[in-house]
A = this chain, B = another copy of it.
């Protein structure tokens, strides 16, 4: 069963294992520091599809296929898919999971969606509602720029606070069968709105939400930063990381020594011109599958706090002068008993 901790956390006493994980990314991500870790690197950012959106769906299909293969399961052995992405009406997911023909819970948590997906997926499995579920998210640089900012052909200059949306997808199959990594805790985030309106500084928009969720996580679980080998946020990038460490420092928690961020890990800032780092639903999800889970599996890390972060931006609310609120969902990942 499970225990409710504090105001926003759950401790899962039934261990939910990540039975298989898959990552599929574009060529730029393949050239980055984690390039060799991804399961599949598409040489063509269009993934041989007819549009950027369809390419993003192809990334999802490939990540899901690999996760299922590693979990030694067929799609029909999944009870639910928990999927989402950044595009309007989540079309990358709708067309990405359609062929699986599995009952779908569509999610939207902006770039925090992998945290939301793993949370609900783990609750569903631990609660006895499903034997196996698939958690899946994606993003694509070109579909995201089209959705949120400027046409690529316009060649807009990007400020140094801007992040680069990851072309990638990550998928995890969850179940009760023993694996090497399990989900043991969940802290679900509230919307945190610091009044920031800069769509080219997502790190600043999300840092407050990340700080709030991590603060409540420590409080609810009665833990400290040193109880984790790593605290890994989703896509704060270098700007957001600095703000996060400062905000948590003000609350008495020094996370800087063991904090890192998927957006910082995925690109080389010296050679890849990605400014503040990587972002997008696919950033946290693909780095989880390609880097975090393997490090836990090897045993280098015993316990990680994985905190995908989302900026609740839309071009409509942005154009109407609204703020960009943030949200962050934390999941405790532990090396399981084999």
Contacts and interface: CB of A to CB of B under 8 A. Distances in A.
Interface of A: 1-2, 4, 7-8, 10, 50-51, 53-54, 79-80, 84, 86-91, 94-95, 97-98, 101-110, 116, 119-120, 123-124, 126-131, 146-147, 188-191, 193, 312-317, 320, 322, 325, 327
B130 A108 contact: no
Oligomeric state, in copies: 2
A109 B93 CA distance: 11
Contact of A89 (B53, B54, B110, B188): B110
A98 B130 contact: no
Contact of A53 (B86, B91, B124, B316): B316
B317 A10 contact: no
A248 to B, nearest CB: 19
Contacts of A95: 317, 322, 325
Contacts of A104: 109, 188-191, 327
A10 B129 contact: yes
Contacts of A7: 79, 103
A320 B53 contact: yes
Contact of A88 (B97, B128, B314, B322): B314
Contacts of A325: 94-95, 98
A2 to B, nearest CB: 6
Contact of A80 (B86, B129, B188): B188
A116 B128 CA distance: 18
8 contacts: A84-B108, A88-B147, A95-B322, A104-B188, A106-B327, A107-B108, A123-B123, A123-B127
Best-buried of A1, A54, A107, A327 by chain B (most CB within 10 Å)? A107
A101 B317 contact: no
Contact of A106 (B101, B108, B316): B108
Given A94-B325, A325-B98, A105 B88 contact: no
A312 B89 contact: yes
Point out which of A102, A106, A325 has the most chain B C-beta atoms below 10 A from its C-beta.
A106
A314 B79 contact: no
Contact of A87 (B91, B129, B316): B316
A313 B89 contact: yes
B91 A317 contact: yes
Contacts of A127: 2, 123, 126-129
A194 to B, nearest CB: 12
Contacts of A314: 87-89, 91
Query: Which 8 A/B pairs are nearest by Cβ-Cβ distance?
Result: A127-B127, A88-B88, A103-B188, A89-B314, A106-B108, A94-B312, A8-B103, A91-B317
A190 B102 contact: yes
A103 B7 CA distance: 9
A320 B190 contact: no
Contacts of A103: 7-8, 188-190
B123 A91 contact: no
A186 B279 CA distance: 35
Given A80-B188, A95-B317, 20 more contacts: A2-B127, A4-B128, A4-B130, A4-B131, A7-B103, A51-B320, A53-B317, A87-B316, A91-B322, A94-B317, A98-B191, A102-B190, A103-B190, A104-B188, A104-B189, A104-B327, A105-B119, A105-B188, A127-B127, A147-B316
